[in-house]
Structure 1
Amino acid sequence: MESNTSLEAVEDSPPFIEQVFDALLFDIAFCKLEPGERIRQSVLASQLKVSRQPISHALQLLKHEGLLQDSGRQGLQVTPIEPEYMRLLFQARRPLEASAAALAAQRVADHRANDDECEFLRRMLVAGQDKVRAHAPAPEIAMAEFQCHVALYRLSGNTVIEQMMNGRWAHIMRALITTHAKADILVAWEEHAAIADCVLRGSVLEASELVSRHVQRCGIALCKHLEEVLAQPSHL
């Protein structure tokens, strides 16, 4: 997911399915296309200045990712955010992230991680901390969260982990943007700093345990806040 891609940013280049997919993925992840919003191919074709064929293919890929769903005779809509789905996602995410942290720390301990990979994790951590201190908008902090975890995946040396998690992060980011619980954000970034410290010291077991606890705590808190937000009259 690229941070500089959006519906408005698609240029008059050949209408590749991947380009359309990335644009729509960005707008769903950042709630520019809101949960429950109906998807109109004719509108998207006009906005992106492409034919309906690449849009149709991209929409099917997004449906496969669970970000779009059938909406009766009206076609497709952006999938609503469901606390139960997020609970299951974080349940599945926990061992995967713990493995990434352990692999990353082991590579550091074995001197197999290169300087660029380590520096990328440091930079993403500092960038996220700066966003939190500056009380940046929810989408910016959500993107920083994503990038910090991507840095961990890349340091792990396991490209499959990043590939598996990329599609899931759109779900996570829009849930984070919807709730934007400031107290939890502060705790989360304190945990990120502790995790990065363990990984960059090559402390394998500690890094894995910290990530496991971090994902579990974040999942519980996120589902709780989602239930509170969705229970408000404006979301009924």
Structure 2
Amino acid sequence: MTETPRTIVFDVNETLSDMSPLAEAFDAEGLPALAARVWFAGILRDGFALTATNDNPGFADIARDSLERLCADTLGPGDHSAAVGNIMGALTSLSVHDDVVPGIEALSHRAELVTLSNGATSVADALFERAGIRGRFARLLSVTDAARWKPAAEAYHYAAAELGQEPRELLLVAVHPWDIHGAHRAGLRTAWINRTGTAYPGYFDAPDLEAGSLSELAGAIRVA
């Protein structure tokens, strides 16, 4: 990268948190393990739909409501509060990906680090405390305090305003192509973390950088 960003803005869910244990949590409650990914994708889908109609829903509210309906549809009538509680607990007790701790350490010497999540800042805070990297982040931001969810431009502009910077001074880091696209359209620079080696969708704006891990990304960003 020819110009070092002032601030690196991280997505949290899946970008930093390893969500694979959710499959085990689903299986433990008698739900198909593969349903965990469908459930999470549905949270995003419905959150995006509500954002498109100028609502700003709570991530946890959608997660719990959709999970209650999934349990009822899959397991049948009955009290599924324990299963819902256990899975929601698993969602808020995840660990980070293996590359996150060394990557964040390296990137903290490149720029200021903050987050911008569609989830609650308390979840990010607890995730980073468990990983021992909370002190590397200057700010934890959430769309809870913005007008709309990512990938709406208002979410990224909220972050820029909170940080007192221009959008072009920020580098958004995410595993989600939709997040990369939204940030690019909002004027931010972008870095796509592609841990799985998949092809980037041609219908989204391309990232400025692509890396297989956060450590690799750190190596691609020049120190000012």
> Normalising to structure 1: TM-score of the pair?
0.25
Relative to its length, the structure with more helix (as a share) is 1
Larger Rg: 1
More strand by share: 2
